[in-house]
Amino acid sequence: DGGITQSPKYLFRKEGQNVTLSCEQNLNHDAMYWYRQDPGQGLRLIYYSQIVNDFQKGDIAEGYSVSREKKESFPLTVTSAQKNPTAFYLCASSIGADLPTNEKLFFGSGTQLSVL
């Protein structure tokens, strides 16, 4: 059963704490992405990776960090520098990052992060 698995489903962060969101895919896709979704604002790109050991900043990368040590995994760390982290975080993948292979994104089920 191929797909993208995000964990945990719900996560709570204390003040000054770093938290890591997990994203694993078994679709053998080269490209992976992290989006943030806030009510009324659609999806905004945080980081993306086209290949192992390489990643690029998206539109709202400040306060976040990522790694891509394995093709299947693209964890996102929300650092204490992110002052407004409460949001729904979505991980996605595509066959490649360049057209025409990246128009179809496959999404995970998301992680809701809240601040305590």
Partner 1 sequence: QKEVEQDPGPLSVPEGAIVSLNCTYSNSAFQYFMWYRQYSRKGPELLMYTYSSGNKEDGRFTAQVDKSSKYISLFIRDSQPSDSATYLCAMKKTSNTGKLIFGQGTTLQVKP
Contacting positions for partner 1 (CB under 8 A): 4, 31, 33, 35, 40-45, 48, 50, 56, 58, 88, 90, 92, 97-99, 102-105, 107-110, 112
- Give least dist CB 80 to partner 1, A: 26
Rounded to 5°, angle at Cα 90 from 115 and 45: 95
User: Residue 98 carries which side chain, given as an amino acid letter?
Assistant: D
By the 10 Å C-beta count (0-12 exposed, 13-18 middle, 19+ buried), 25 is classed as buried
- Give least dist CB 45 to partner 1, A: 6
The residue among 43 and 52 lying less far from partner 1, judged by its C-beta, is 43
